[in-house]
Amino acid sequence: MQVPPVYRRWVTCPEPRPKASLRLFCFHFAGGDASIFRLWTTKLPASIEVCPIELPGRATRRTEPPITRFPELLEKLASMVRPFVKPRPFAFFGHSFGGITAFELTRWLRRNGEPLPTRLFLSACPALHIRQQPAPRITHLSDQEFLEEVATRYGTPREVLTSEDVRDTVLPALRADLQVGESYRYQPEPPLDVPISSFGALEDPEVSQEEAAAWRHQTTADFRLRMFPGNHFFLAAERRRLHQAIVEDLQFKA
């Protein structure tokens, strides 16, 4: 499909697969970028075309101003994804901050009469309806205090966060994404008629098994919960098992 280059800045496709039967849109965690899913393009079956989302203010879009408000992010992202969701079936995978984005984008598509994903994969993301109070704001803190809070909240090793490379390349995007998260407010809507798979980690300090399991209340269709070893960032270490679960659930017939 031919689309203007601006759309491809948002919806990347490292390995186009014109004959694939399904597109898998992947939404990164706060401070991340599309490269997180680079290996997914070759490790998943040829029937799946992997399309990682690249938000402004990082990696290949580092010179562009980041978005810091959730309503603006959702509207802009929806306009960029719409051309890609009609030609063939698709699914959404979102990790942490990316899970919130994927969930709300699905609800936006429903509100606007657009095609819906065949399945929604929400990874290291708490069911948003059971958190009555938003997490304390941290984006106003100094760099050192901010990174300390990130380490405590998500279990990120402090030696990683204090590296010069992180401060230079990741910190601006991380601040912007967490500002987006701080501006987000969940609004009740009817459950989706979209199957949901929720992936959690047994040692995640940010998302409990109960919060991962509560996504079952956001769908009237099939629901599956899987808990993996590791902490909030089990995405890389458990990639093989994640891929196996994704393939299984995409083939599952309720």
Residues that are catalytic? 96
Rg (CA), the chain: 17
Q: Which long-range contacts (CB under 8 A, 24 or more apart) does 148-155 make?
A: 150/174, 150/178, 152/205, 153/205, 153/206, 154/96, 154/205, 154/206, 154/231, 154/232, 154/233, 155/203, 155/204, 155/205, 155/206, 155/231, 155/232, 155/233
Tokens of 129: 């309806």
Q: Quick one: CA dihedral 10, 12, 17, 20, positive or negative? A: negative
Query: How many CB atoms neighbour CB 168 within 10 A?
Result: 9
Q: Please tell me whether residue 153 adopts helix, strand or coil conformation.
A: helix
Q: Which residues contact 215 (CB under 8 A, 6 or more apart)?
A: 122, 127, 196, 198, 223, 225
Distance CA 249, CA 239 (A): 15
